[in-house]
A = this chain, B = another copy of it.
């Protein structure tokens, strides 16, 4: 099994990417293909005695964080992320990992590798650690805005994703919202509620953040902007709360806090988003993992291990098979057409 890694993507590229990839080899049996500028990559590899067998695909081009993904992949056809995706598409690799410009990764995976038939967009799926389970949040940032069909299709993706990865027969899917009633939230969410209510999914309705923490659902659907803000808030919350609590404890019982270090460490590891490493780009026909741009080498290592697991267990392929059986994606297209027709009839005063 081969994992293609975009060695030029991320704030600490290529050093952290190369080191993280090497670190991952002890946790999984994948072969690595590092895609990027060969000279600095070989320089980092040279520091490790057992790294001479690692394959490197050279390219001088890379897409920066500031570029608009869909345009950049057309202008820079030999950028590291494009070559990595091309490898995945042609069978030269079994999975791709990138910590680079995520809009470029999304666009390249859609154009080069392809999505499930009938699907409009892939989404980032991030597990959300709480006291009562780990609901998956999607979209966590692949696309900032979402229309009705995008939200409904995300729900169908969540359904097959949890079926395949967690073995749940009928995972509970909710819509992240600011109230439980059907009329709450943005217009896209109200319409998605109507679509999902008619579907064959186990739709539990609108889920308020508090209910999410209480374990009301296995997956929660939202637009990418909201999901990304929430995930990043999580990071900030846990760090800020923990630092504050530590300071308070030290004030209250000087000298005693040291012994609690282990508790804090375990706590931090559970809630710290970075330790997750990467999120699968769900909806692409083959395994793609998007890592946080800020990723250090341990986060990159977890992202590579995740990619290896997705490839080994054939998660995207099995999701595709489930989706075909299910016809949920096609149903949403049909239902949405019906909704639009109803709206137009009303506007034109047809009866």
Contact = CB atoms under 8 A, between A and B. Distances in A.
Contact of A178 (B131, B144, B186, B238): B144
A144 B186 contact: yes
A218 to B, nearest CB: 17
A344 interface: no
A260 interface: yes
Contacts of A237: 213, 233-234, 237-238, 241
A296 to B, nearest CB: 15
B208 A232 contact: yes
Given A181-B66, A185-B144, A230-B230, A236 B252 contact: no
Interface in A171-208: 176, 178, 181, 183-187, 208
Given A66-B181, A186-B144, A244-B131, A249 B229 contact: no
Given A178-B229, A233-B233, A213 B240 contact: yes
A65 interface: yes
A267 B248 contact: yes
A232 B263 contact: no
Contact of A229 (B226, B232, B243): B226
Interface in A140-196: 141, 144-145, 176, 178, 181, 183-187
Interface in A236-273: 236-241, 243-245, 248-249, 252-253, 259-260, 262-263, 266-267, 270-271
A263 B252 contact: yes
B228 A229 contact: no
Query: For A228, A229, A232, which residue has the most chain B Cβ atoms within 10 angstroms?
Result: A229
A335 interface: no
B178 A228 contact: yes
A130 interface: yes
Given A131-B243, A252-B263, A230 B232 contact: no
A209 B239 CA distance: 12
